[in-house]
Amino acid sequence: MNVTIAVHNLYNYLLKFPVNCVAGSEAMFADLCYFSVRSVQLTFIFLVLPCLLLGYLGQAAYLMENHADAGQAFYSSVPSGAFWPTFLIATIAALIASRAMTTATFSCIKQSTALGCFPRLKIIHTSRKFMGQIYIPVLNWFLLAASLVLVCSISSIDEIGNAYGIAELGVMMTTTVLLTVVMLLIWQIHIIIVLCFAVVFLGLELTFFSSVLLNVADGSWIILVFSVIMFLIMYIWNYGSNLKYETEVKQKLSMDLIRELGSNLGTIRAPGIGLLYNELVKGIPAILGHFLTTLPAIHSMIIFVSIKYVPVPVVPQSERFLFRRVCLKSYHIFRCIARYGYKDVRKENHQTFEQMLIESLEKFIRREAQERSLESDRDEDDSEDEYSSSRVLIAPNGSVYSLGIPLLSGFKDTNTSVLEASTSEVLSSTTSESSVFDAEQSLERELSFIRKAKESGVVYLLGHGDIRARKDSWFIKKLVINYFYAFLRKNCRRGITTLSVPHSHLMQVSMTYMV
C-alpha cells in the first residue's frame, strides 16, 4: 500500500514539475523587453536550466526515500541549516515571477487592444527606448482583486496547483498549434517535419492535459470560467467594433452628393474652422451629413481630424500632421491625420494644438502650389523636348544631326517656320508668366482665407457614433449589441482626447447606426 501511494505521489510530482519549469521559463521570457535575446538565451542554458534540473531531480530523489512528506517536498528536502535562506530566495523568486507575469498580461492586453479585440484602456509607457515597457493601472488593480478573490475562495494549495496546471497546459497547446500553422504557412517547412513536430509535442502536452482534466472539480473550473468570460468580452468587443466600422464605411457620403450640394454644402458657411473628429481616414464620414441636416450653418472651413498612434517614442512636430484636400479648392475641406508616438504627451493646450495645425496646413498648401508649378514646368519641358526632338536626326552610325527646321511631312518655307517658332515662344513665355502670377495670387488668397477663418474661431466637432440592433434582429444579437457591447463601449477609454478644450469651443453630436 505504501509503495502504491509513493508511486502515485511521485507520478503527480513528475507531472507537475515540467509544467512549473515551463511556466517559470515563460514568465522570464515575458520580460524580453528589459534584456537582450542573447543574454536571456545564455542565462537559460548555463544558469536556469542546470538549477531547475538539480532542484527537481533532488526533490524526486527525496520523494523516493520519504513517501510521507509528499505535500511539502520542496521545504522538507532542504537541510535545516539552509531553510531560511532558501525561504528568502523562494519568496524573491515568487515576486520576480509575479512581476514578469503581470508585465506579460499588460503586453497581451495592449496587443489585443491594437488588434481591436479588447476595449481601450489607459496605457502608460514607462520607457522611451523600449516600446514594450508599459503599465496599465486598471488592469493592475483588476489583477490584485482577482488574486485576492482566488486565494480566499480556494481552500487548499492543491486546488491552486490544479488551476495553474490547466492554465499553463492550455497555453502550451495553443502555442504549439499556432507554431504549427506558422511552420506551414510562413516558414514553409516540409509537411512531414511539421507533422512530426505536432505529433511529438501535442502528444506530450495532451498526456499532461488529460491528467489535469481529472481534477476539474478541484480548482480547475475557476480557470475555465475565467477563460470563457475573457473570450466573451473579446469576441463581443471585436464583433461590435467591426460592425460599427463597416456601417460607417457603408454610410459615408459620396463625392457626387457633395458636388451636387455645391461649395456651400447646401447651407450657410459661417466664418470659422470646424475640426470634425472621426476614425475614418478615407472618404467623407456620415456624421457630416448629420451636421448638415440638423444645423442651419456650417463653418467656412472643415478639417476631418483622425488621431493615430504609431509605434515610435516621439513624432517630430514637423511630421505630426498629414494633410490631404478632400474636395475642390472652393469647398475648403481638408483631411488631417494627427500622428502621436507612445511617449508623446497629449496634454498640450488647445491653442497650441490649433496653432500647430494651422501652420502645418499652410505649409501643405504652399507645398501643393509648388508641386503644381513643378508639374506645369515639367509639362512645358516635355513639350519643348518633343519640339526639339522633332528637329534631331539620328544617323545609322549613331551620329546626331540637328536640323534648322522641324521634320514636317510637308514642305514649308524656312522663314515662315522660324517666324512661327519665335512667335510661339513669346506667347508661351507670356502665358507661363501670367499662369505663375495667377497661381501666386490664388495661393495668397487661400492663405488669407485660412487666417481669417482662424481669427473667427475654431470649434471642435466631436461626433460619437453608436450602434443599435434592428427590431427584426435575433434576440442574441440584440442582447450582445444593445447591452453587452454598449456597456463595454460606455466604460472604455475614449479614442479621442479633447485636449482640455473649453466648453465654448466644443460641440458633440451623436449618431446612431441601426445594424
Question: What are the boundaries of each domain within the chain?
Answer: 256-370+447-464
Burial of 510 (0-12, 13-18, 19+ CB in 10 A): exposed
Q: List Cα–Cα distances, 33 to 100, 436, 451, 493, in angstroms.
A: 11, 55, 47, 26
Burial of 270 (0-12, 13-18, 19+ CB in 10 A): middle
Does residue 259 carry a pLDDT above 90?
no
User: CA gyration radius for the chain?
Assistant: 35
pLDDT digits (tens, 9 = 90+) for 325-357: 888 888 889 999 888 887 776 656 677 788 888
C-alpha cell at 360: 502645418
Question: Which ranges constitute the DSSP H helices of 326-463?
Answer: 350-389, 414-456
pLDDT digits (tens, 9 = 90+) for 129-167: 766 678 889 999 998 888 888 878 777 777 777 787 788
pLDDT (0 to 100) of residue 386: 43
- For residue 392, what is the enclosing H or E element? strand 392-394
Q: What percent of the chain has pLDDT over 70?
A: 77
pLDDT digits (tens, 9 = 90+) for 411-461: 344 444 444 444 555 445 555 566 666 778 888 888 889 889 888 888 888
pLDDT digits (tens, 9 = 90+) for 175-196: 899 999 999 998 989 999 999 9
How many CB atoms lie under 10 A from the CB of residue 117?
16
Q: What is the pTM of this model?
A: 0.70
Residues 6+ apart with CB under 8 A from 65: none
Of 345, 338, 356, the closest CA to residue 314 belongs to 345
- Give the integer Cα–Cα distance in Å for 452 and 450: 5
Does residue 109 carry a pLDDT above 60?
yes
Which DSSP letter does residue 254 get? Answer: P
pLDDT (0 to 100) of residue 412: 43
